[in-house]
Amino acid sequence: MRRASPLAREAVVSAGVAAGFAAVLAWAGPPGTDLAAHVYQRAVFLDHGFTFWNNFWYAGRYSFVTYSIAYYPLAAALGIRLLAVATIALAASAFATPAIIGGRRLKVAATLAYDEFLNTLNWPLGAVVATLLLIALVVAVVTSNRMIERRYAQVFE
């Protein structure tokens, strides 16, 4: 079996330490400013399932538009704080994944942008890569939003 490179070990340790500190803060720290909204929406989901409109919070709004449609079912199953900790762990692992799967030998967009900005100081190419990533993200969000609006057209009218 191949030994992990020092960069992969460093990425895993750094992501683990950051996730650990953030998880302790999310679990034992002060509540967020919108914790009351999360508790209420979780209770609505537990009582009524998916509801598209709710008049009892912020003078009426779409319940599942402000956060991901998967958030409240997961919060109902895991609890709000545990879901926050799981989200932090997944986000931290995203930083370690490129180093684990191939390090600098495997170029993914994130490591390419990082290398161009900090290692080679090629700011124009780094800016192009970052802009292309941003454009791809905007296209994905707009496309998924249009698909959702088409599928649930009666709700948005």
pLDDT digits (tens, 9 = 90+) for 125-152: 888 888 888 898 889 888 888 888 888 7
Query: Tell me, what's the pLDDT at 95?
Result: 66
Q: Are 30 and 106 in contact, with CB atoms under 8 Å apart?
A: no
pLDDT digits (tens, 9 = 90+) for 89-130: 777 776 666 666 666 666 677 677 777 777 788 888 888 888
Query: Tell me, what's the pLDDT at 58?
Result: 64
pLDDT digits (tens, 9 = 90+) for 67-93: 677 888 888 888 888 888 888 777 777
* Cα 83 to Cα 5, 9, 42, 48, 72, distances in angstroms: 31, 26, 12, 20, 10
Question: Could you identify the residue written with the tokens 């599942």?
Answer: 64
pLDDT band at 13 (very low <50, low <70, confident <90, very high): confident
Encoding tokens for residue 136?
């791809």
pTM equals 0.51
Counting Cβ atoms within 10 Å, is residue 144 exposed (0-12), middle (13-18) or buried (19+)?
A: exposed
The answer, yes or no, to whether residue 156 has pLDDT greater than 70, is no
pLDDT band at 66 (very low <50, low <70, confident <90, very high): low
CB-side exposure of 7: number of CA atoms within 13 Å? 12
Sketch the domain layout of the chain as residue ranges.
1-102, 107-157
